[in-house]
Homo-oligomer: A and B are copies of this chain.
């Protein structure tokens, strides 16, 4: 590849993006700069990288704060790989600066739904605890898990991914499924045989409560002390959406009181004072992964493909269907 000097720079963050998917950007003469492959960039480091960049494919776990944007005078577009950009991008700050944000709806539906169902089974059967144990061992009969088919599963958020999770649980496993959604989905109630319940009623009804809503100002702390006060002892909370949807102090208290038997997170609190305590005190009852639910070859290809098209559209002055902040 020939050296491109003074070409406009496009940042690409996160691991797992196949170089070949970025080919259109190289072909258009841009300088493509990978950042934050090892770990999320600090605001200071991101600030330096953004100086002079015209576009930014956000495929990592870093937060694009006001401070990080201070030198981003040339930045036209942040193409977020995923749906819930609001956790990762300071929307007010980009809006003030006239930077567009795009996302990649639907690209990761199967990846996230499959991962979530896997973690539901892991939490329900405690499979990770048994890995490497060569003979069955139970303290007693009361320790045996119940079958998924016997469980009542509540889904908070019946968007694309929530609906796919409901479909797998209903049509595959034959579980009883209810849901809460801002707007009722009578089409899915018919198609899948799922029942609408108000959020607090759903919390009380569910043996396993699955959270699948976008992380934003409206959903921050949606699963709070009031909701977790309603769950029955031993309930399993599976949050493969953003951690911010669950209030960390309410989570701590629900785990401490045994109302939550297990909690599953994909992506973890970055700056809560109770985040470390939670893992120290209840680590054996928390399955935490690092925001990987959407990370499959196929979803990454779809996400990167959509993001590249959005960047090209915006930089070319063309309309783009995936603009979510302008």
Residues of A within 8 A of B (CB): 14-19, 38-40, 60-61, 110-111, 114-115, 117-119, 121-122, 124-125, 127-128, 130-150, 167-169, 171-173, 268, 283, 287-292, 295-300
- Pick the contact of A16 from B114, B140, B148, B288 — CB < 8 Å? B140
Given A110-B147, A168-B172, 16 more A-B residue pairs with CB atoms under 8 Å apart are: A18-B142, A60-B136, A110-B148, A114-B121, A115-B127, A118-B118, A118-B121, A118-B125, A121-B121, A128-B128, A136-B291, A145-B297, A146-B297, A147-B296, A147-B297, A167-B172
| A75-B16 Cα distance, complex, nearest whole Å | 61
Residues of B within 8 A of A139 (CB): 15
Q: How far is the CA of A40 from the CA of B134 in the complex (A)?
A: 11
Return A144 CB to nearest CB of chain B, in Å: 5
Cβ B16 vs Cβ A292 within 8 A: no
Partner of A172, one of B173, B287, B288: B173
**Oligomeric state, in number of copies?**
2
Question: What are the residues of chain B within 8 A of A17 when measuring CB–CB?
Answer: 141
Interfacial chain B residues near A15, Cβ < 8 Å = 136-140
A149: chain B residues at CB < 8 Å are 110, 114
CB-based contact A138/B295 at 8 Å: yes
Q: Do B16 and A131 touch (CB < 8 A)?
A: no
Most buried by B among A39, A61, A295: A295
In the assembled complex, which residues on chain B have CB atoms less than 8 Å from the CB atom of A143?
Answer: 16
